[in-house]
Amino acid sequence: MNITGKRILIAPSDIATKRTKERIKQHGENGIAPFKVEDWRGISDQNMSFLLRADDGWLGWLHKDQFVHLATLINDRN
């Protein structure tokens, strides 16, 4: 499934770094946050990163292993 351009709801994974946990905390509530997927790169499913944009404009790369994809949001303002 191609999720580029979609808004997703994520939470830190069990192995997330402090940096990833802070980014999700800064841009969400209660440890979960919505982000728009701008792009993704990787040579395999195990080595993939996503370029995510927060509602407040923050833009950054997070590695797939650092977060859990909870849902793909249907509406722009979910």
- For residue 14, the model assigns a pLDDT of 97
Q: Is the pLDDT of residue 2 over 80?
A: no
- 23 CB contacts (<8 Å, ≥6 apart)? 58, 60, 62
Coil, strand or helix: which one is 28? coil
Q: What does the domain layout of the chain look like in residue ranges?
A: 7-73
DSSP state of 54: -
* Residues 6 or more apart whose Cβ sits within 8 Å of residue 57: none
What's the pLDDT score for residue 49? 93
DSSP class of 66: G
